[in-house]
Amino acid sequence: MPTTSDSPTEIFTKLFAEYGRALHRYIRRFAESNETTKEIVQEAFLRTYRERDSVKTLRAFLFSTARNLAANEYRHRQNVERVGLRNLDDAWAQNQSESPETELLRDERSRLIQEAIDQLPTQCRAAFALRIFHGCSYKEVANRLGISAKTAEKHIARGLRDTHTYLNRRYSPTRQDHG
């Protein structure tokens, strides 16, 4: 355990040597990918280092900081996904009505979704489809595509964003093109 007589560099080095692996294993249970785990662990060590003079128990502060960062990352990931899907649903809800044209609108909606998805880069399209249409987790998407979970997450977020943007452009009342 680091002592108060140690220099800041020695404190950090000892803290990392003693708790680095254990913290990584602990956070890996919560994080979606190894890359995210590394980022969280690094940030937790940095915050602990910055607060070292005001913290009584460095280990407890380190682990609770890492746990909080992991929880924030999880909430962020869920929000990105939820907002993206809600926005897609809202776009459709605004353009649906209870008229005889509903079936035609539904067909048009399906066609536009397919057009939007077709605009995505190949790997992004694959990740997006696996997550949205097949319900795969980020980890499953990553494993199926041979990429990291963080990369899968970025592809899926881009897919949601780009698809939403495409649909908004197509449904925009000020749309210039009519094709």
Helix, strand, coil percentages, rounded to 5, for the chain = 75, 0, 25
Residue 49 has what pLDDT? Answer: 87
Query: Where exactly does CATH 1.10.10.10 map onto the chain?
Result: 98-171
Domain 98-171: which topology? Arc Repressor Mutant, subunit A (1.10.10)
Contact by Cβ (8 Å): 171, 95: yes
Residues of the chain with CATH 1.10.1740.10: 1-95
pLDDT in tens, 120-177: 898 888 888 888 877 888 888 888 888 988 899 899 889 888 888 888 887 765 545 4
3-state secondary structure of 6: coil
Tell me: pLDDT of 2 over 60.
Answer: no
* Tens-digit pLDDT profile for residues 10-66: 877 888 899 999 999 988 888 778 888 899 899 998 888 888 888 888 889 988 889
The DSSP secondary-structure symbol of 27 reads H
User: Rounded mean pLDDT of 5-12?
Assistant: 76
CATH classification of 1-95 is 1.10.10.10, yes or no?
no
pLDDT (tens digit per residue) in 70-105: 888 877 777 666 666 666 655 555 554 455 566 666
Confidence band of 178 (pLDDT split at 50, 70, 90): very low
Share of the chain above pLDDT 70, in %: 76
